[in-house]
Amino acid sequence: MKLTKIAQLIGAQNTDLQDLEINWLLTDSRSLSFPAESLFYAIHTARNNGHNYVSELYQQNLRYFVVSEMLPEFEKMTDAVFLKVDDTLKALQVLTAKHRESFQIPVIGITGSNGKTVVKEWLYQLLHTDFNITRSPRSYNSQIGVPLSVWALNENTQLGIFEAGISEPHEMQRLQPIIQPTIGIFTNLGEAHQENFTGLKQKCEEKLQLFTNSDILIYCSDNKLVEISIAQSDFKGKLFSWGKSEKAKMRILKVEKNPNCTKINLKFEGAEMQFCIPFTDEASVENALQCVAVLLHLGYKIEEISKRILLLEAVAMRLEVKEGVRDCLIINDSYNSDLNSLSIVLDFLNQQATAKNLSKTLILSDILQSGQTPSELYKTVADLLKTKNIQRIIGIGTEISNQADVFQLIEKDFFLTTEDFLKSAFVRDFQKEIILLKGSRKYHFEDISEKLELITHETILEVNLNALVENLNYFSSKLRPETKIMCMVKAFAYGSGSVEVARTLQHHHTDYLAVAVADEGAELRREGIRIPIVVMNPEKGSFGMIFDNKLEPEIYSFRLLDLFITSAEKLGLIDYPIHIKIDSGMHRLGFEPHEIEQLLSRLKGQNQVKVRSIFSHLSGSDEMQFDAFTRQQMNTFTVCADQFSATFSHYIMRHILNSAGIERFPEFQLDMVRLGIGHYGISSLPETKLKQVCALKTVILQIKNVKTGETVGYSRKGIIKSDKRIAVIPIGYADGFDRKLGNGVGEVLINGQRAKVVGNVCMDLVMIDVTDIEANEGDIVEIFGDNLTISEVASWLKTIPYEILTSVSRRVKRVYFQE
């Protein structure tokens, strides 16, 4: 779209414009790919301001900006174009709504509490051979994600499929004109994102606003609240209900679950039909039925639907980072391949590669049904790889191989098929590279992933980086925009892996990190972490490491202060930043209130160190019974901090709140807060909105039938009182599975059912009772995670969640993923 037209549509206050084409809309400064064709929207969020990144983008040759304020530094950018509006987010939404109006094509809009992304991807799998489809990349369903998704509509699009999610009232009113669905799908209604609604009914009514002008709405009539809400709404289009009710347009007659598939009998327009889906879980059955309803509405014959449904493949909902052979890292995004999603995942690749200083390699298949000519398409891909500084591309497929010449100044190799690549010597050549697998399903890149991944222990700790960020945002929402956040990544980031966690936090503009010892901070520096890092327990022998890595020590005693000043003086350092710890009542480390006057005198008499912050630690902020003492600690700390402010003219930050304190005492947030266990989904509040970040999982190695009277495990502790099926799983106390969980104390989760531990816990193995569970060798076992919480495991052991998390051994492989 021409820049002049964009300015007109969004009502921008700028008339002196170049008549150039804008192809890319940008809201994240880190995602810049094509500066000459991009327009940046400087959007205000709760804790960030896009205007602060305009100068950075200008340095990267971007010249076109939509802003709501003109900062002084903008005046120096004489060749930049600023489109001034009142609300940049609204301007983005208005523009993309106008863009949508120019397409007279069927558009499927999907909303609901769960299943949106799976239904969208399955519809793509079912329909992509018949339509040129533009769809939301990944889970782009927010106030920003929806406009960016719809902007991808182009003259070659024959069908649009977009998902919409909301977290508070009135949001759907802004998304509806952007998507303007002709076909609506309401997946289901649940508790997700419930916190800002008065109840499920209000949330349902808000979601239904997406379908105000839709021609037809597809929904499950078994949910009576959804059906009632639709009946009471202003919806004027046709209804396509499905479910068990006799009144349903598509009626479910029978659902029969087999080991590897589910057989479903339906009745539609008087005719009975039967088909199978290659899944057995309830969610997949529900999602598949939504898709069947869409295909029936579009006029597909049941024979064709049955054939296509049977070929449905699981949707990879996340990007996983796994260790590969010969010091490589593997990012597997091999469930689709299109230009939009390629640009997004290359940003993730760069985030990982920069910190680890790895060479960047892309293995890319043919991009199917882009609507562009091959020469146009792969020229764009080549330009994108150049912008993202990708060093090597391996192309697989006929079209990309034919366009090999457009990839200039990059190491390149091409193969017609995945099999050809796997037979080549290149598979053995990878070394110290980060390798992104990006391929269409038909190319079976999972075979490449299997070849390149490092074979390891089958017990893994999954770390959900999206959940980590959501938890960070949750705590941020309780703070003033100017309040800083220090994130604790000590003790291997509470067992989750300090480097990956720190990298994610840095990417999301965390102000400070904190580690326990200097070694941890030095490791983060080696891995490319550049934000300030506080060392909570500095030791004399680590001062050199602290100085070399620009770490900032906590100072809690006169002895430590004197030693550190002396070391700084020997190196000729001036105003080295330190953080003063006050003991306000916990009686652990810290200067006591009566020592403050002496401390101030000592600090004033030197210039080697400079106090960056003063802080204290609450000892009972998570328990209501200690609230009076918490306030007493706050008062004590305030008196001490005021003495510092009266003594020094420079700004000294104050902080006292930990995770529980942020939730329960936000009025004490001061200049900064320290976020620790809350990152990982552990809350002191009974009804937490936090997400579980870590999930410890393993698999069933073997299942045995054990007769009455026999015993299981060491010391014959597992006495079998009736015939049992006993499963063996490869985890033990050497992995962090506590011995005290043995003999029926602990439980694990298999296929949604709990299994008790039988006998003693071994060093590397645990035996569990699966007598009444549909379990098979190779099935996944959850030790803790979304369904069996860390807090519950801690309660069995009469300990705290911190201990459970930090006890997971380093020999357990950490697998990081983004959804």
Active site residues: 490, 714
d(CA 393, CA 111): 37
Handedness of CA 791, 795, 801, 806 (dihedral sign): negative
d(CA 74, CA 62): 13
d(CA 673, CA 487): 8
Handedness of CA 468, 471, 473, 479 (dihedral sign): negative
Among candidate residues 644, 630, 646, 628, the one with its CA nearest the CA of residue 581: 644
**Residues in Cβ contact with 42 at an 8 Å cutoff, skipping those fewer than 6 apart:** 49, 50, 51, 53, 54, 65, 66, 67, 68, 88
Report which residue type is found at 631: R
Q: Which residue in the block uniquely carries the two structure tokens 């069947």?
A: 292
Report which residue type is found at 431: Q
Among candidate residues 555, 606, 559, 617, the one with its CA nearest the CA of residue 583: 617
Q: For residue 477, with 0-12 CB atoms within 10 Å meaning exposed, 13-18 middle and 19 or more buried, which class applies? A: exposed
Number of helices and strands in the chain (H, E):
26, 38
Assign 728 to helix, strand or coil.
strand
Q: Compute CA distances 54 → 65, 347, 482, whole Å.
A: 8, 19, 20
The CB density around residue 302, as the number of other CB atoms within 10 Å, is: 18
Q: Are 53 and 42 in contact (CB under 8 A)?
A: yes
User: Per the structure block, which two tokens stand in for 192?
Assistant: 């997700």
Among candidate residues 565, 635, 627, 620, the one with its CA nearest the CA of residue 587: 620
**Residues in Cβ contact with 126 at an 8 Å cutoff, skipping those fewer than 6 apart:** 291, 295, 308, 309, 312
Residue 591 per-residue DSSP state: B
**Measured in whole angstroms, how far is the alpha carbon of residue 743 from the centre of its chain?**
37
Assign 240 to helix, strand or coil.
strand
Q: Compute CA distances 65 → 37, 79, 152, 489, whole Å.
A: 12, 12, 19, 36
Q: Are 782 and 695 in contact (CB under 8 A)?
A: yes
Residue 615 pairs in a beta bridge with: 581, 655
d(CA 722, CA 711): 11
Report which residue type is found at 696: L
d(CA 547, CA 576): 9
Among candidate residues 786, 806, 803, 785, the one with its CA nearest the CA of residue 795: 803
